[in-house]
Structure 1
Amino acid sequence: MQTHVVPVGFDYDRLIAPLVRDQFDVDRVVLLEGAVGSEANVEYSRNLSQKLETDFRNLLGAETERVPVDDVYDYDAAFEQAYDLINEELDAGREVWVNVSSMPRPVSFAFATAAHSVTLERQADRDRIHTYYTAPEKYLETELAEELRADRDLLRDLLEGAEGVAGGPAGEPDTVAGVDVDRVRERLDTATDLLAEFDERGTTIGAKEVDGRHIIELPVASFSNVKPFEEVILFKLGEAGEFESVSELAKALAGELNEEYTDSFRSKVIYNVDRLGPGGKGYVERESHGKSYRTRLSRIGELWVRAHAAEDASDYEW
């Protein structure tokens, strides 16, 4: 059985056409919906999602579910959502295919990275997790721009022709081809300005501010297998945020685990923190200050803790 996870942006063909043409055996489809841009953009995307829902059912006979993505620019939340969804589908005995062709990049990257992370944690299921992309046959933006350019030229010709017939300012026409002349001028000016922006800026304008910044960091690292005691360390760092030294972390762990704080226990913590650090799995960051190292989770470490938050570290034996 196959589940296809499909983030819906502003595409239709490349989200469903390859599955129909290549005769995929699709049992279930999860359509991810999120608000992107203006109200008109949101409505456009929602209409595409409705059409996809209908056509996945009619053309492929697939059970289809529409799932909201609360914030398409929140990478961490999208990663957690993807991680949980992929694991749930695998637990239900389904093969998971993640389409990353559409929706804003934070969602696509989050789902792709989550899929890869799950393959590392569930080695036996590696061949049941797939991430894929479909290239479009053509892009409509430039064609739309060329059509708008032709329409602009037509409006200009009509306006100039009507003014010529009227014989100058004194005889300025009230209408052009039966349309109010001011309305024609307004449409001509709007088309001219829009084309000028398109030619100068491309298909998008500006850089959106998200959480006070204009960039959204997308961690490229994926999960690695984590041993039980390493998990305890990660959960503790997730709970506390930061420790001024590894020794402080070791003391906190000893107290929580009812262990005696000895040199041996401290060495065990140091060894495992090293394995989790930049030279190892990359889940922990260490910043030198004096003779100590401030210890905290890295971005991928934060994602690991967030994705595994439902697990109880006290259940593990070490």
Structure 2
Amino acid sequence: MTERVHFLPVGFDFDRLILPISKGQMEADRVVLVTHDIENNDDPSRAAELASRLTDRLENSFDLFDVEVERETLEVEKLYQYELLYPEAHDYILNEIVEGNDVYVNISSMPRTTAFAFATAADSIITEYQKEVEEIRNKLHTYYVPPDNYLVLDMIEALEDARDWMKGQESLDVYPQYQNICEILEKVEDGGVTEGAKDMDGQMYVEFPSSPGSDVDDFEKKILNFLRGRDSISSTSSLAEKLAQSLDVEYDESFRSRVQYNVTKLDEKGYVDREKEGNRLETELSTMGRMWVETN
């Protein structure tokens, strides 16, 4: 029997994850709450605690609507590692499709890396399996729910009211709070509702590479799988020689030329990175290539 399964990456939202289902605009037999693993986090942040509370509330609320609930927990350090999130999202969604279920992915909540990983994986699966799975475009859906109101604007107004009230007080007891509120409002006015950029092992950004396509022929697949988990290979000749050895075939000029031709195609498609070192081209999997081998 076909189930309607919703994947809900949980951040700091409740209404946008439950209302389309609870109000009957979308049907759901089962929801999968994708959240971080707070139980194994010795010192969870306030943000992590808030997301955990919302996850508990969502689970309890869906139970009341007789919707089955599952949890998929992610390690906290994975939340911004798109390259690790994408294969997991791909596996979660594809397993449901293989079981014959209809899948819905809600990308309304945070963090964006998790939501984008699920959205990209869904799009990639449609591209990869449109010939194998009948009417896959009608079985796999990605959706977004816009908020009716941003509470941060109400919070700013409340802080402004508190600041104006404290400004007229003569008691020294309120001055530290007054000063703190003034500093927060000044930061919001100057820089918006976030501050700084998170340092992730020396890098402040997360790249969202194109999702792997399905235009990979059999010999290209052999090259990609051979490169999996390997450091950069120093030259095309070295790559061809090692590949021939792994495939137990004869290494000759014809095989080397075939490897060179296919590696060039993989470079053009974005599956490998090639860097010139002297007269040689070092070759390794690109981010998209690593995503491909993890999901194929």
TM over 0.5: yes
Q: CA deviation at 1:38?
A: 6.5
Query: What is the alpha-carbon distance in structure 1 between the residues aligned to residue 156 and residue 106 of structure 2?
Result: 28
Query: What is the alpha-carbon distance in structure 2 between the residues aligned to residue 39 and residue 242 of structure 1?
Result: 38
Once the two structures are superposed, what CA deviation does each residue of 1:26-85 show, in whole Å capped at 9, x if it has no partner? 1111111127997222211111111111222223x2211122121211111111210111
Structure 1 runs of 4+ off > 6 angstroms? 35-38
CA RMSD in angstroms, aligned pairs only: 2.1
Once the two structures are superposed, what CA deviation does each residue of 1:94-131 show, in whole Å capped at 9, x if it has no partner? 11111111112221221111111212221123432222
Name the aligned partner's letter for residue 258 of structure 2. K
Query: What is the alpha-carbon distance in structure 2 between the residues aligned to residue 225 and residue 95 of structure 1?
Result: 25
1:142 to 153, 156, 161: 153
Matched, 1:84 2:91: yes
> Which residues in structure 2 correspond to 1:1-318 (within 5 Å)?
1-34=3-36, 39-59=45-65, 61-70=66-75, 71-123=78-130, 124=133, 125-157=136-168, 159-160=169-170, 181-278=171-268, 281-308=269-296
Distance of aligned partners of 1:121 and 1:269 in 2 relative to their CA distance in 1, 3 Å threshold: same
Name the aligned partner's letter for residue 139 of structure 1. Y
Distance of aligned partners of 1:240 and 1:185 in 2 relative to their CA distance in 1, 3 Å threshold: closer
Name the aligned partner's letter for residue 153 of structure 1. D
Q: CA deviation at 1:10?
A: 0.5
Name the aligned partner's letter for residue 145 of structure 2. T
Query: What is the alpha-carbon distance in structure 1 between the residues aligned to residue 91 and residue 287 of structure 2?
Result: 18
* Mapped contact 2:240–2:251 kept (Cα < 8 A): yes
Query: What is the alpha-carbon distance in structure 1 between the residues aligned to residue 198 and residue 235 of structure 2?
Result: 38
Q: CA deviation at 1:182?
A: 4.1
8-17 vs 242-251, which moves further? 242-251
Q: CA deviation at 1:266?
A: 2.1
**TM-score with structure 2 setting the length:** 0.89
Q: Alignment identity in percent?
A: 39
Gaps of 5+ in 2: none
The SS at the match of 1:199 is helix
Gaps of 5+ in 1: 161-180, 309-318
Name the aligned partner's letter for residue 44 of structure 1. L
The structure whose Rg is larger is 1
65-74 vs 262-271, which moves further? 262-271
Name the aligned partner's letter for residue 201 of structure 2. D
Query: What is the alpha-carbon distance in structure 2 between the residues aligned to residue 95 and residue 225 of structure 1?
Result: 25
The SS at the match of 1:294 is strand
* Mapped contact 2:124–2:212 kept (Cα < 8 A): yes
Once the two structures are superposed, what CA deviation does each residue of 1:250-271 show, in whole Å capped at 9, x if it has no partner? 1111111110112222232223
